[in-house]
Amino acid sequence: MSTPNFSEEQVLRYSRHIILPGIGGEGQRKLLDAKVLCVGAGGLGSPIAMYLAAAGVGTLGIVDFDRVDLTNLQRQLLHDTDDVGRPKVESAVDRLHGMNPGIDVVPHDTMLTSDNAFDIIGQYDIVIDGSDNFPVRYLVNDATQMLGKPLVYGSIYQFEGQASVFMPGKDTPCYRCLFPQPPPPGAVPSCAEAGVFGVLPGIIGSIQAVEAIKLIIGKGEPLIGRLLLFDALDMEFTTVKLRWDPDCPVCGKEPTVTELIDYELFCGLPSRPDDAASAAGA
Amino acid sequence: MAVKVKIPTMMRARSGGEPVVEGEGTTVREVLKDLEGRYPGLTSGIVTDESTLHRFVNLYVNDEDVRYLGSLETPVTEGDTISVLPAVAGGASIDR
C-alpha cells in the first residue's frame, strides 16, 4: 500500500473523506490518481463534473462542442448567466477550477466522433455518459467496450431518469444489451420539445458521480447488471435486472461490431458530412 | 386477473395521463391486448405491427426483463407489476 502523501492543503480539503471509513487516505489517493472523462457539460454533466472535481478526481476530462444557451441555465449548474454564448467546456473549466484548483481539468471542445473517440477516451480510466442523443450513447458504449473501460450511464426524460454501470467484457451487460436498437428518429421527443424537470439531471448526475467514485475506490456494489429507475413525481426509485445478451453485437459471444461505425446512420439519421456522432450535454 | 402496468411519462398521453393502469389477462400479451381495447394506441409504442416487442422498449414483470422469461407469453398473476421502459436519450434535440 502506498503512502497517501498529501499536501497540508489536501489534508484539510479532503479531511471529511480521509476520516470517512470506506474512503480514508487510501481512497482519497485513488481519487487523486483517477482519470475520468465526462461526456457532455450539460444537465447531467454539471453535477457529475462538479462532485468529481470537489471530490478531488485528479484528472477530469470534459467533452462538449456546444455553447451555453439561456435555455440551459434552468438545470446546467456548471454555467452562469454571464457564460451565455461561451463554449461550455470553457465555463466548465472556470467553474471546476474555482471549486478545486488542485485538479487537472481537461477541456475537449469538440464533437465526440467515431474518428476521435478512441483518442479521447483512451486517455481516461472511466467514462461517464452525460450525453443527450442516441448516436453518442451508442458511440460511447461501443468505444468503451472496445477499449475495456467502465461506463457510467445516465439518461433523463421529463420527470424520469435511468442509471446503470456497464463494465467491459463478457458476462456483464452493456447499453446494447439493454436497448439493441435506437428508437426511430422522432419517436422520442427531445428535452427541447418535451421539456425536462430542472432538478432531475441533478439527481441522476449525482448518482452517476456516486457510481464513478465507487468504481475508483473499489467500494460497495455498483449498478452492474442493474438498472436504476427514478420517478420524481412519484418519488420512487426502483431497480430492475439487466442481463448480458450473449448475442450482443458488441459484447456478446461472437461480436459482429468490432470497430466504430457510422452512428448517425445506425440511428436512422443523415450521416454527418465529415463523420458520425456529436456530443452535447443533456 | 388484474395486473398493474406502469406507464412511462412518454406514453401517458395515450393512457389518459394515468401513470399506472390495470389490465386483465394471464400473459403479458393478453394484458396488453386488454389495455389496447381501453386505451387505443397505447401499445403501438410497445409492440410492433407483427406483435413482437420493439427492440427499443423493454418490458419488465416485477424486476425481470420479459425477454429472459417468455417474452409476450410471460405468465402474469394477480399482484404482478408490468413496467414499460422506453429508451430515452435526454437533453437537447437529436436533429441538430
Give the domain extent around B17: 2-86
Contact A65, A77 (CB under 8 A): no
- Is the CB of A183 less than 8 angstroms away from the CB of B63? no
Let me know if residue B94 belongs to a domain: no
Residue B95 has pLDDT above 80, yes or no: no
C-alpha cell at A192: 427541447
Q: What is the pLDDT of residue A194?
A: 81
Q: What is the pLDDT of residue B94?
A: 32
| Closest chain B C-alpha to A108 CA, distance in angstroms | 19
Residue of A nearest to B67 (CA): A243
Let me know if residue B93 belongs to a domain: no
pLDDT tier, B15 (very low <50, low <70, confident <90, very high otherwise): very high
pLDDT, mean of each 10-residue run, chain A (282 residues): 79 98 97 98 97 98 97 97 98 98 98 97 98 94 98 95 94 95 79 87 98 98 97 94 95 96 90 54 58
Q: Which of A182, A191, A281 sits opposite B56 (nearest CB)?
A: A182
Q: For chain B, how many structural domains are there in total?
A: 1
Residue of A nearest to B62 (CA): A240
Let me know if residue B41 belongs to a domain: yes
Q: What is the pLDDT of residue A282?
A: 59
pTM of the predicted model over 0.80: yes
Question: At how many degrees (to 10) do helices A200-217 and A45-55 cross?
Answer: 40
Q: Which of A72, A153, A176, A238 to mutate to probe the B interface, most B CBs <10 Å?
A: A238
Q: Indicate the CATH number of A19-266 among 3.40.50.2300, 1.10.460.10, 3.10.129.10, 3.40.50.720.
A: 3.40.50.720
Q: What is the pLDDT of residue A255?
A: 95
The number of beta carbons lying within 10 Å of the beta carbon of residue A282 is 35
Let me know if residue B95 belongs to a domain: no
Average pLDDT of the residues in B20-34: 95
The ranges assigned to domains in chain A are 19-266
For the domain that residue B51 is a member of, what is the CATH number? Answer: 3.10.20.30
Let me know if residue B92 belongs to a domain: no
Q: What is the pLDDT of residue A277?
A: 47
- Is the CB of A243 less than 8 angstroms away from the CB of B65? yes
- Is the CB of B94 less than 8 angstroms away from the CB of A191? no
